[in-house]
Amino acid sequence: MTVVDDPADRIFGPTAEALGVPIAAWSVVLLASAQADTYGPAPGVNMIAPVGMARSTALKRVLYSSWVLLLVSLAVYIGELAILH
């Protein structure tokens, strides 16, 4: 089996090792932070643009559904961290 030279491991590996965090857990944290930025908690371009293009007034519904998605995805990531740690 060959070891793949992963850029994420080269960039974040030393920091993760110094903190005692496994690289897999570090990756989950990076993914969770990217999802949190996409789904909210405040309306962003990814949320407002489609609502505006559809000429809809349902931004509240989109915001509420994004909060639900954010909570579910964070629960999944917390579960993954619990398994990895």
Q: Does the pLDDT value for residue 2 go beyond 50?
A: no
- Quick one: which of 67, 73, 65 has its CA closest to 32? 73
| Per-residue confidence (pLDDT) for residue 39, from 0 to 100 | 67
Q: Mean pLDDT across the stretch 7-13?
A: 72
Rounded alpha-carbon distances, angstroms, from residue 52 to 22, 58, 59, 77 = 42, 9, 9, 31
Residues in contact with 26: Cβ distance below 8 Å, sequence separation at least 6, in sequence order: 12, 15, 16
| Per-residue confidence (pLDDT) for residue 40, from 0 to 100 | 67
Q: Regarding predicted confidence, which is higher, 40 or 76?
A: 76
Q: Is 33 exposed, middle or buried (0-12, 13-18, 19+ CB in 10 A)?
A: exposed
| Per-residue confidence (pLDDT) for residue 1, from 0 to 100 | 44
Please write the tens of the pLDDT for every residue from 52-78: 888 888 888 888 888 888 888 888 888
Percentage with pLDDT > 90 across the chain: 0
Residues in contact with 65: Cβ distance below 8 Å, sequence separation at least 6, in sequence order: none
